[in-house]
Chain A
Amino acid sequence: MLDPLLVAAGALLQPQNILLIAGGSLMGLIFGLLPGLTSLAAMSILLPFTIGLPPISAMYLFIGIMGSAPFGGAVTSILFNIPGEPTSAASCFDGYPMTRRGEAAKALGLAAAAALFGALFGLVVLIGLIPMVRAIVYAFGPPEFFMLLMFGLATVAIAAPGNTLKGLVTAGLGILLSVIGYDPITGVLRFGFGSANYLWDGINLPAFFVGVFAVGEVIGYYVTGGTIMRAGVKMQGVWRGTIEGFRELFRHVRVTIQGSVVGSIIGILPGVGGTVSNFLSYTLAMQTSKHPETFGKGNPEGLIAAMTATNEDTGALLPTVAFGIPGSAATALLLGALTLHGFNPGPLFITEHMDIVWALILGLLIANVVAITVGLAGANMLAKLTTLDVKFLVPTILAISLLGAYADRENLWDVALAIASGVLAYGLTRFGFPIVTLVIGFVMGRIAERAFSQSLQMELDPLIFFKRPVSLALFAMIVIVFLVPLVRRLMARRRA
């Protein structure tokens, strides 16, 4: 166990590898910051150039990108409500309202601390769970996963900020929008609205996010005028705010650990994706909070939940190295890189190439530290833009956001989709419908439908969800989620 660690650590001290990991981290940070360009794009661009590198160096480069992108994505989410990466969208909900009340530095510090904690936690889980990964992966089949998503949706429905009824409507609307496109089971295009090609893969997630978060907000700026930071609010000092943000993390230990656990577990489950883990973590934090009504209004717990769960790529490393099954899109690319360098990830890989596994672990740790140090310095300069008149920001943010919508898959119609989603989001916000539930319904809807169909294909019995222990336990949790508010209300009445 120690020899491979020493090999990986020794490699890390070589100047070439230090440069590679720092370069990878910076690239991940920049790609994370730019809407529409994700860490996946950065890894894809660099993949062919790594062929001549020693395998361990190539892994340091890739893991640098993977480790730093989540914080990069969170910076624009917090400052401008533009998710740099789909996985950072959940940090818009509470990070951006904090910026509006002059707490940008605190929000950035908190996001950095939460991301770092999540990554560290994920690494401990990764090291600890390597021997148990098989059991965990096998315990979660489609029925369990369906129940897990239902649990997430149930928590949203109950804890939606504002009007619960309207929250349910937008959650349902999000699910309906998510099923647009070809049905993975029957292969038929559903709800094409006359489009036979564009909507085949469904509504493009990054373009939809750009629309809902950035374009909707830009319309709001134009209507209300002023500055992003509210009038009369004094901007918090950079260092004071950042330190306060770091301190804030330790005031919310439960949410911090909860988010890290959710991110790690969801990361282990192959094919689920980081966006789901962030939203699940957020909904869980909302449900378990004493003040769910403050979520979406700048509650630090919401930001912690969203950021700690960005460690899903750490969890996703487990099935990737242990079985050769990538847990996320980023680890799928990493798997490609490992194969390109002559490795065959699977059970034997862990025993024969533990030095590479350690390189990935150490690399993730360093990448997070680099991203947070460089990112915080740069982001706090960007934060000053929030005091500018929105007259200057509206055209600039709009142009960059819409370019981001286009950049994801270079499709012109994604720009139109982002504009339409923005107008819809503005209307929903304007008339009291929560956006949080729309986005969560959208993210989870399609995956839940697929898991539901797969479960019924496994056994042509709808009771399959109640026959398996993990699935049944999750169902019990859903029932509890619905019962808790009722019990709370009854107890409050008794007290009154």
Chain B
Amino acid sequence: MSGRLIFNLMLLAVAAYFVWAATGYDLQGRRIPIMIGIIVLMLQAWVTFQELLKPVTEPPLLEGAEELPPDEGRRVAVMTAWMVGFFALFTVFGTLIATALFIFLFLVAARALRWWGALGIALGLSAAIWIVFVKALRFELYPGLLFGGTLPAL
């Protein structure tokens, strides 16, 4: 099954969920979600059907002339993993340490700079965030679970 088809089916499932969940609300609460949900469901079903019958050529990622690399799926997965990693660092260590660690690790892993250059940029940006947000704007950055932060209620 191609990524395109999976993505289209996922959108179909999202629309179906909204319609199904909306049936549980009273008339005022469900009117718009059901109406829009059904329209989206029908249109997306048609889009999916069309693409099943006649798969279109892959559009460029961004308007212009870029070509997508053959390992696009892997790159998207790696980038998503980096973002999840940043979120984990942010949660555990707080904004400043997470930012410094993330930038350092990313730059070293991407072989963009030598470790000392990466460390300089990472510490520089964290220091800039601290000066602007904490010292100048009196903004409270997230301290991290290790340093007294709590998880907000979901």
| A interface residues (Cβ-Cβ under 8 A, vs B) | 34, 37, 41, 45, 97, 100-101, 163, 165-166, 168-169, 172-173, 175-176, 179, 183, 185-186, 188, 190-191, 194-198, 215, 218-220, 222-226, 230, 296-298, 389, 391-392, 394-396, 398-400, 402-403, 406-407, 410-413, 415-416, 419, 422-423, 426-427, 429-433, 445, 448-449, 452-453
Q: Which residue of B lies closest to A224 (CB)?
A: B66
**Other 6 A-B pairs with CB < 8 A, given A220-B61, A391-B110, A412-B152:** A165-B47, A183-B28, A197-B152, A219-B80, A223-B75, A453-B28
Are A407 and B139 in contact, with the CB atoms below 8 A? yes
- The answer, yes or no, to whether B133 is at the interface (CB within 8 Å) is yes
Pairwise interchain contact A398-B139, C-beta atoms closer than 8 A: no
Residues in B neighbouring A392, C-beta threshold 8 A:
107, 112-113, 121
Minimum CB distance partner of A427 in chain B = B7
Assembled-state Cα–Cα distance A411/B63 (Å): 34
Q: Considering the chains assembled together, what is the distance between the CA atoms of A185 and B33 in angstroms?
A: 14
- By the criterion CB–CB under 8 Å, are B15 and A431 in contact? no
Point out the residues of chain B lying under 8 angstroms from A389, CB to CB.
112
Q: How far is the CA of A61 from the CA of B95 in the complex (A)?
A: 31
Distance to closest chain A CB from B43 (angstroms): 5
Q: List 12 A-B contacts (CB under 8 A).
A: A163-B47, A173-B40, A175-B32, A176-B15, A191-B21, A222-B82, A223-B69, A396-B125, A398-B86, A399-B102, A407-B133, A412-B152
B interface residues with partner A (beta carbon < 8 Å):
3-4, 7-8, 11, 14-15, 18, 21-22, 25-26, 28-29, 31-33, 36-37, 39-40, 43-44, 46-47, 56, 59, 61-66, 68-69, 72, 75-76, 78-80, 82-84, 86-87, 90-91, 95, 99, 102-103, 106-107, 110, 112-113, 121, 125, 129, 132-133, 137-142, 149, 151-154
Residues of A within 8 A of B121 (CB): 392, 396
Using Cβ atoms and an 8 Å threshold, which residues of chain A touch B11?
Answer: 169, 173, 433
Q: Which among B15, B43, B59, B86 has the greatest number of chain A C-beta atoms within 10 A?
A: B43
A430 is contacted by which of B61, B78, B84, B102 (Cβ under 8 Å)? Answer: B61
B59 and A432 within 8 A (CB): yes
How many A-B Cβ pairs are below 8 Å? 191
* Cα distance, A429 to B4, chains bound together (Å): 11
**What distance in Å separates the Cβ of B110 from its nearest Cβ neighbour in chain A?**
5
**Complex contacts, B138 vs chain A, CB 8 Å:** 45
- B86-A191 in contact (CB<8A): no
A173 nearest CB neighbor, chain B only: B40
A97 & B142 in contact (Cβ 8 Å cutoff): no
Q: Which residue of B lies closest to A195 (CB)?
A: B154
